[in-house]
Amino acid sequence: MTAVVDAEAVTKRYGEVLGLNGFSASFAEGITGLVGPNGAGKSTLFRLLAGQLKADQGRLTLLGQPAWGHGEFRHRVGYCPESPALFDWMTGNDLVTTLLRVDGFSRTEAAERSARAMTEVGLTQDGDRRVRVYSKGMRQRVKIAQCIAHDPELILLDEPLNGVDPVGRASLSALMRQLSSAGHHLIVSSHILYEVERLTDQIVMIANGQAIAQGDLHRIRDLIDSRPHVIDLETPDPRGLARALGAWDHVVSIEFVDAGRLRVMTRSPDTFYAALPGLVVTEGLTVRSVRSADDNLDAVFRYLSEGRR
Amino acid sequence: MTGQLDRLVTVAWMAFRGSVQGLRAIGLAAFALMPTLIVAGIASAHPSADTLAASAPLLFELLTLPIVAMVIILVLSVAQFRNEIDAEILVYLSARSVGRPTLVVGKYLGATAAALVFVLPASLLPLAVATLAGGTAYSASVPAAVAVAAVLATVAYGGFFLFLGLATRSALLVGLLFGFLWEELLPLLPGDVPRLTVIFYLRSYLSGAVSSGPLSGYGGAVPLTLALSVLVGIGLVFVVVGSAVLRYLETAPEKESA
């Protein structure tokens, strides 16, 4: 697949603070999730891509063009910033139409496109209300509307589901998939990992201003298979269970969490899960529950970011 | 797709509309009423017709131009870029395909038009009140000169303050220091030093445009056409420089989100 965004050792400083620290990643066609905790550098990357900031070092291109560039090329990019701030004195329709006019669309076409975009984000009924009275979720929707209304090739959505209610999340996620099916490329950031996991398998993970992993979600899971996994076990006999598990060479550590719970770290979770039932039977042990901390993307991210420290 | 002129008009109209509504606009409107209220207060003391007629132009030169108009223009011009960068909303314009010089010129035109909505009444209403309250009638040149001077002040100060909003994060503070120190103190100094101020050329213009009364006879004034050219030139130069600055300016706040 062709990369729509390429970053090579991109660094951005805010005085003494590093926003991005040698960030290198390729964002493929379709939907890519940019995943990382708050303060990881996601918004800095988006601002660089939107041409609002200039990288101090490194090379950053989108759609084959340098990110720090203005003018007509920007017509191919749509940007939905994270901040909820908007021109509060305008109505939703007015805002989207005016920004389309700024982009060079005629009055008629701007009005048509604005109406279509407002419908797509589910704001038709509230389009004539001032943005000032919009809820956070409605603000997110109008931000997305202005971002997609000019039909850009590349859509940058910084935390687009923030503040949107569950029903709205589902419809906006559906809209993102629909945009991707229609040939648009989307980069969607989030610090809530399951949101991205539901949207795409293609992710870039960022922490401390660096890309710590990228690619297919399953590939990332493979990537962490070599790293220890944490498994919590509930048992009435933690000492007996710990003694038995201690004999396994793939078990890295055993921790007594409380009177009835053990936390085991293993290098081979597949082997662990396969052998545990046999151990329980042969040793006559009782295990009430087994809970892996690696069930979701959150754990994947935690592993990877800790592995970089 | 339409041309740059259409985009320019859209940006200017957006800047104008944003400037003439909301609490800030109400505050500026109230502030703009100050000279009119003062003249009304003078009129209530029943001075002679000549004294009353002289009070309004004098107030225009000493209060309206250097303080009321200057503050109104400062607030509206700085808001165009600095406030929008700080509020993280300029990005909706600057991330689009419109040229950055178009943004600067459009916002300058919009802010100038919006400032005139407040500055012109602040300049002309006191003259009307003085006349209606029994003051000696003005010759046509007085209100005309006052109106043109108000426009010239808006053009010159507006360009400079718009540039300040692009050049510094402390644009409002720097603008106030400029207005109350530079523009007030330098005209008091001897020699050619007063020529370094905008107010010198505004007073020169008034002196050339009005043949009698408090607005005429400004000592050391330059010819009317020169004053007019310098004032328009100041506005244009700072708009051009501002356009160049915005081409290279990072328009996002310098921070990573929490």
Average pLDDT value for residue range A144-153: 96
By C-alpha distance, which of B217, B203, B245 is closest to B80? B245
User: For residues A186 and A180, is the Cβ–Cβ distance under 8 A?
Assistant: yes
Q: Do A74 and B97 touch (CB under 8 A)?
A: yes
pLDDT at residue B10 is higher than 90: yes
User: For residues B74 and B67, is the Cβ–Cβ distance under 8 A?
Assistant: no
Give pLDDT, residue A258: 86
CA distance A297 to A68: 32
**How many Cβ atoms sit within 10 Å of the Cβ of residue A183?**
9
Give pLDDT, residue B258: 43
- Flag whether residue B131 sits within 8 Å of chain A, measured between CB atoms: no
B237: enclosing H helix or E strand: helix B224-248
pLDDT by residue (tens digit) across A71-80? 788 999 999 9
Q: Which of A295-299, B32-36, B140-144 has the lowest mean pLDDT?
A: A295-299
Closest Cα in chain A to B89: A86
One-letter amino acid of A241: L
pLDDT at residue A154 is higher than 70: yes
CA distance A198 to A32: 12
Give pLDDT, residue B1: 58
pLDDT by residue (tens digit) across A225-263? 666 778 888 889 999 999 999 999 989 999 998 888 999
Question: A14, A44, A52: which to substitute to probe chain B, counting the most B Cβ within 10 Å?
Answer: A52
Average pLDDT value for residue range A196-218: 86
pLDDT by residue (tens digit) across A33-82? 998 888 889 999 999 999 999 999 999 999 999 999 777 889 999 999 99
* Angle B158-B159-B164 from CA coordinates, rounded to 5°: 95
Give pLDDT, residue A3: 86
Return the number of CB contacts < 8 Å for A and B.
104
Average pLDDT, chain A: 88
pLDDT at residue A268 is higher than 90: no
Task: Enter the pTM of the model.
Answer: 0.85
pLDDT at residue A299 is higher than 80: no
Question: A43, A49, A70, A158: which to substitute to probe chain B, counting the most B Cβ within 10 Å?
Answer: A70
Q: How confident is the model at residue B212 (pLDDT cuts 50, 70, 90)?
A: confident
Give pLDDT, residue A308: 59
Q: Do B252 and A52 touch (CB under 8 A)?
A: yes
pLDDT at residue B257 is higher than 60: no
pLDDT at residue A295 is higher than 60: no
Q: How confident is the model at residue B91 (pLDDT cuts 50, 70, 90)?
A: very high
